[in-house]
Amino acid sequence: MYSSTLKNFRLSLIILLLISLSACTHSRYSTKQADIQELISEANSSFYLDSRIWYQNIHAEVSRKTITLTGEAFFKIPVNGIIKSLKKAGFEQKVVDQVSYLPESFPEDKAFGIVIVPYVMSRYKPVNVKQEGTELLYGEAVRLIRDSDPYYQVQSATGYLGFIPKNSIRTVKLEEWVRYHQAEQAIFDQDVELKNGFQIKRGTRLPFLMNGNILLANGDEVALYGDSYHVINAASNPLRQKIIKTSEQYLDLPYVWGGRSSDGLDCSGFVMQSYGLNGLHLPRDTDEMSNVGRIIGLPGWMDSMLPGDLLFFAGSRRLVTHVAIYIGDDHVIHSLGEGVQIHSLNPEDEDYSENLDRSFIFAKRIFD
Examine the residue annotation and report whether 24 is marked as an active-site residue of this protein. Answer: no
Residue 351, phi then psi, degrees to nearest 5: -95, 25
Which of the four pLDDT bands, split at 50, 70 and 90, describes residue 29? very low
**Residue ranges of domains in the chain:** 2-101, 107-235, 237-365
Pick the catalytic residue from 181, 331, 334, 343. 334
In terms of pLDDT, which residue wins out, 7 or 353? 353
pLDDT at 28 over 70: no
Give the Cβ contact number of residue 227 at 10 Å. 7
Distances (CA, A) of 351 to 120, 219, 330, 345, 355: 45, 40, 11, 8, 12
Active site (annotated) includes residue 334: yes
Kindly name the residue from 24, 26, 59, 267 that is annotated as catalytic: 267
Cβ(331)–Cβ(244) under 8 Å? no
- Least confident window among 22-36, 231-245, 285-299, 354-368: 22-36
Binning the chain into helix, strand and coil, the percentages to the nearest 5 are 30, 35, 40
59 catalytic per annotation: no
For 237-365, CATH number?
3.90.1720.10
Q: Using one digit for the tens of pLDDT, what is the confidence trace for 136-162?
A: 999 999 999 999 999 999 999 999 999
pLDDT for 25: 45
Asked if the model's pLDDT at residue 2 lies above 60, the reply is no
User: pLDDT tens-digit profile of 254-273?
Assistant: 999 999 999 999 999 999 99
| Nearest Cα to Cα of residue 307 among 348, 287, 347, 278 | 278
Q: What is the CATH number of domain 107-235?
A: 2.30.30.40
Mean of all residue pLDDT scores within the chain:
88
pTM given for the model: 0.84
Instruction: State yes or no: pLDDT of 15 exceeds 70.
Output: no
